[in-house]
Structure 1
């Protein structure tokens, strides 16, 4: 087993740090803890986990073509900890646990959705097989639980995991239903995506010894940020550039997914909505030409405009919640920078 030295990095510069620099700082801060955790796994689970995390290729060899994740959730955890006066060192184990949970969910999501690409290279299950990838995901979750076993945030993480599973379960169930209400679709996104972002922020505040009221404000900041993030992600899934998203455009539409813009369009009650419903309810998968028509109908029915308005609204609420938590000025600046990055991506 390799022992990875934990090098505690200085806080990001207070005013001039870009979003990319903040994420890079967070990634470097948590990676030693992640590598130490992954080294506890036996082969081939260790190799699959490291492949998924972007550390090496399918044979376990580091390479220039390997792309790591953005480390958004660890960055939020670390910055929320800083915002209440905690050091990077104190918050790193919590941030690493959050990243392990996130990647556990990604490994399973790729299998559930049948996605063969992530970060512009083959997904773990498509390389190593679904059973091995499922076990690798389970292992990451077990490592996260081990990392937080004696932490006061463990109960909060447990609640979040239930919300995450419920949200993912609803997402799957919606593909089989002809009618899905917009409110229940928003609730699904709250569980599938926003719950973990809210938990990441709350755990960061807990690492700094924040009071319950302040921790809840940070959770709400992350929750609304997560809803905005999911809305933008759904927009990118329909109108985004595959070179930037790493996924083929229209893959969710071909799979019949009822994402937020789709449900907003289906429930709009206009002509385009009715035409969209007829196409989207067909038992056979959509052809390429159908995807183009469906994409246009979603926009004409108002789904795209609604999703963008809601993304902007939740972004504003998130920033309000952050202000109510009274963060230190430096971390507040960086949290605002990350908020702008993840809720205003090009689409």
Structure 2
């Protein structure tokens, strides 16, 4: 393997990754349904709809976008590296997925979003309190899943508790950065953006990789830590890729960016990088123009993102993503044998922006 990870060439690598992700989704869903089935009444209804299993009235769901199932796929990778039995690994995977969805439900409340992946969000089905309670309920189920799987006298629960703290720290960091200027005094720095990404996105991926090892008493703590760091670095890579896609869209489908409010792009890693470069004045002018843009359909959006790309910030952000993905694979290799599945998943992540 070369020192620097590159996305697989052509479509074969992506097809391999998609097959891995489909298998992981099918692997984890029955146990997820069993855990969420412990909830009663409105909590069961809200969570079932949020997870894509039903409409708000509990009728079968219509077509909707699925998540990538990257976290359970990473749990399968880690379980294979350290020899975790399937019954333990699937509980770990469910715990991370439940924590992820708890964070999404809380995000919708914080951001007052009434739509999630094209359908009504948890809070919009009843009220804000219901969205908060649904997120809290999923967090409780995550703790119960790990408690049932943990064979290590609490190490697995400790990893999950630390992950919950990191995710909340990351969300608070994100909210704080949103109030800070991108130019002038007290500007947002690259280190702050990367720290936020490591907490908000990386902590969950770290748990996905570390939990199958943490729950086994025979696995060394150094291995658990290496797996956690592998996920954290991969999370930073994903955050960089997502920032690129928010500004310039998906290069594989020529889609438009996902922003409903283009002004929310102002604290992204590409823009922070652009403002550090030699073209910072031009970038500042572009950001001023951005503040007047209400939709990505506005021609000024395309003109602004083109000017940003010319500053080199897109390439610089992709370089950070590649560096972090490479670090992720190096930590994985310290935890066990090389994994072609992990390489395929990391290549898929990078390929979403290249």
1:217 equivalenced with 2:217 (yes/no): no
Match of 2:331 among 321, 325, 345: 321
1:45 aligns with 2:43: yes
Q: Which is further off, 66-75 or 35-44?
A: 66-75
CA contact (8 A) 2:45 2:56 kept: yes
Q: Trace 1:12-23 onto structure 2 (pairs within 5 A).
A: 18-23=16-21
Tell me, yes or no, if structure 1 residue 181 matches structure 2 residue 179: no
Give the Å deviation of 1:102: 0.6
Task: Check 1:125–1:291 CA distance in 2 against 1; reply closer, same or farther (3 A cut).
Answer: farther
Instruction: Normalising by structure 1, report the TM-score.
Output: 0.85
CA contact (8 A) 2:99 2:142 kept: yes
User: Which runs of structure 2 are paired with 1:75-114 in the superposition (5 Å)?
Assistant: 75-114=73-112
The answer to which of 271-280 and 58-67 deviates more is 271-280
Native 8 Å contact 2:261 2:294 kept in 1: no
In the alignment, structure 1 residue 153 sits paired with structure 2 residue 147: no
Map of 1:9 onto structure 2:
none
Summarize deviations over 1:153-183 as a string: whole Å, max 9, x none.
Answer: 1111111211111111111121211120111
Show CA shifts across 1:174-203 (max 9, x none): 121112011111111111111111121111
The secondary structure found in structure 2 opposite 1:213 is helix
Residue deviations 1:185-243 (CA, integer Å, cap 9, x gap): 11111111111111211112224542111112211211111111111111111222499
**1-structure distance, mates of 2:45, 2:81:** 36
TM-score (norm 2): 0.83
Match of 1:169 in 2: 172
What stretches of structure 1 of length at least 5 have no aligned partner? 1-14
Greater mean alpha carbon deviation, residues 153-162 or residues 126-135:
126-135
Distance 1:88 1:326 in 2: 18
Aligned residues: 327
Quote the residue 1:344 is aligned against. Answer: 351
Matched residues in 1 for 2:85 and 2:23: separation? 14
